[in-house]
C-alpha cells in the first residue's frame, strides 16, 4: 500500500526524539528494558510508514552521549537490546530496502557492537527505499567538537586557510555531512527541549512536540505530525506573505 499520493509537501528528512520509554514501563510496573523493547517495535513501524509516505531520511535519536551517565545496569540492558536488534534486524532491513547509517561517537561502544554497526551499514548501503540514520552515542556538542578538531587539523597542516572557512565546511565536517538538514523534528513524551540533538542542523527545522510516550506512538500520531508540518509556513528569514 502506498500513502504517497495523498500527501503533498512531504518532508524529505524527519528527525525523531523517541522519548518516554522509561515512563511507559514504569506506568506498567515493568523494567525499563520492556519500554525500550516496545519502543524498538514502534521505530520499526514508523520506519515502514515513513518509507511508504516517500520520506527519504529518518533520523532516530536512539542513545545520547549523555545517556552514558545513567546507571550501569540500565546501560548493560540497553546494550544487550542494541546487540539483539543489530543482529536480528538485517533480514527485514534488506526485505524493506532500508539503508542504515549511524551518527555519533561509535568508538565508545564495545568492539562487537562496533562491528555489528559497520556490518549493518555495509550490507544495507545500496538499499534505496529510505535512509534511516540511527543517532547512537550521539550528542550535538560532541559532534561539533569532533568537527572542530578535524578542521583545526586541516588548518594546522595548511590544507585550509582559516579565513576561507564557510558554513559549508563546518557542515561537511559533521557526522551528517552529505545529509540534508531535517525539515521536521518530532519529540514524544511531552518534554519540550532538544536535549543536544542536531543543534547545527536544526537551524530552520519545524518542531512538533507531542505528549505521547514513545511506545504508545502510533502511525496515526505520525501522520498527524506530518500533517501539522504541512500546514506550516517556512520562511527562512524572509518576511511573511499573506
Per CB under 6 A, residues contacting ligand IPE are 17-23, 61-64, 67, 189, 191, 193, 195
Q: Which of 21, 67, 163, 175 is catalytic?
A: 67
Closer of 22 and 182 to ligand IPE (Cβ): 22
Query: Smallest distance from the beta carbon of 146 to Mg ion, in angstroms?
Result: 24
The three three-digit cell numbers of residue 178, written as one number? 552529505
Output the residue with the shortest Cβ distance to Mg ion.
Answer: 19
**Residue 127 interface partner, choices Mg ion, ligand IPE, none, CB cut-off 5-8 Å depending on type:** none
Whichever of 15 and 174 has its CB closer to ligand IPE, that residue is: 15
Q: Which one from 19, 142, 175, 183 is the annotated catalytic residue?
A: 19
Q: Is 19 in the site for Mg ion (CB under 5 A)?
A: yes
By beta-carbon proximity to ligand IPE, the closer residue of 17 and 133 is 17
* Chosen from Mg ion, ligand IPE, none, partner binding at 195 (C-beta under 5 to 8 Å by type): ligand IPE
Task: List C-alpha distances in Å: 76 to 66, 80, 85, 111, 206.
Answer: 15, 6, 14, 14, 34
| Cell numbers for 117 | 554497526
Q: Is 19 a catalytic residue?
A: yes
| Torsion sign across C-alpha atoms 72, 74, 76, 79 | negative
Q: Rule CB under 5 A: is residue 175 a binding residue for Mg ion?
A: no
The residues that bridge with 130 in the sheet, in sequence order, are: 98
Closer residue to Mg ion in complex, CB, 70/154: 70
Kindly tell me the sign of the dihedral angle through the C-alpha atoms of 202, 106, 58, 82. Answer: negative
Q: Among Mg ion, ligand IPE, none, what does residue 109 contact (CB within 5–8 Å per kind)?
A: none
Query: What are the helix (H) ranges across the chain?
Result: 21-27, 32-53, 72-88, 90-95, 111-124, 140-156, 167-171, 219-231
Please name the residues in contact with 90: beta carbons below 8 A apart, sequence gap of 6 or more. Answer: 119, 120, 123, 124
CA distance 139 to 204: 19
* Residue number, nearest CB to ligand IPE: 22
- Closer residue to Mg ion (CB): 109 or 197: 197
Q: Is 183 in the site for Mg ion (CB under 5 A)?
A: no
Cα 229 to Cα 52: distance, rounded to the nearest angstrom: 17
- Count of H helices and E strands in the chain? 8, 6
Binding partner selected for residue 63 from Mg ion, ligand IPE, none, CB under the kind-specific 5 to 8 Å limit:
ligand IPE
| Residues 39/206, Cβ–Cβ less than 8 Å | no
Q: Which does 182 bind (CB under 5 to 8 A by kind): ligand IPE, Mg ion, none?
A: none
Q: Which residues bind Mg ion (CB under 5 A)?
A: 19
Q: Which of the residues are catalytic?
A: 19, 67
Amino acid at each position: 500500500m502506498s500513502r504517497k499520493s495523498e500527501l503533498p509537501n512531504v518532508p524529505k528528512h524527519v528527525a525523531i526524539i523517541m522519548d518516554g520509554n522509561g515512563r511507559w514501563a514504569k506506568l506498567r510496573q515493568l523494567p525499563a528494558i520492556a519500554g525500550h523493547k516496545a519502543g524498538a517495535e514502534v521505530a520499526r513501524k514508523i520506519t515502514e510508514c515513513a518509507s511508504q509516505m516517500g520520506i527519504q531520511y529518518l533520523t532516530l535519536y536512539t542513545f545520547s552521549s549523555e545517556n552514558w551517565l545513567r546507571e550501569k545496569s540500565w546501560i548493560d540492558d540497553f546494550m544487550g537490546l542494541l546487540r539483539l536488534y543489530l543482529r536480528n534486524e538485517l533480514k527485514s532491513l534488506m526485505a524493506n530496502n532500508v539503508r542504515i547509517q549511524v551518527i555519533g561517537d561509535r568508538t565508545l561502544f564495545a568492539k562487537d557492537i562496533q562491528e555489528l554497526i559497520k556490518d549493518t551499514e555495509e550490507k544495507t548501503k545500496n538499499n534505496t527505499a529510505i535512509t534511516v540514520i540511527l543517532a547512537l552515542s550521539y550528542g550535538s556538542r560532541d559532534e561539533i567538537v569532533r568537527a572542530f578538531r578535524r578542521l583545526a587539523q586541516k588548518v594546522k597542516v595548511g590544507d585550509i586557510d582559516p579565513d576561507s572557512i564557510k558554513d559549508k565546511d563546518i557542515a561537511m565536517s559533521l557526522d551528517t555531512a552529505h545529509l540534508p538538514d531535517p525539515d521536521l523534528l518530532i519529540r514524544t513524551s511531552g518534554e519540550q527541549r532538544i536535549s543536544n540533538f542536531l543543534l547545527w542542523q536544526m537551524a530552520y527545522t519545524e518542531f512538533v512536540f507531542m505528549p505521547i510516550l514513545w511506545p504508545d506512538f502510533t502511525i496515526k500520531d505520525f501522520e498527524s505530525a506530518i500533517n501539522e508540518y504541512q500546514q506550516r509556513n517556512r520562511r527562512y528569514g524572509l518576511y511573511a506573505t499573506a
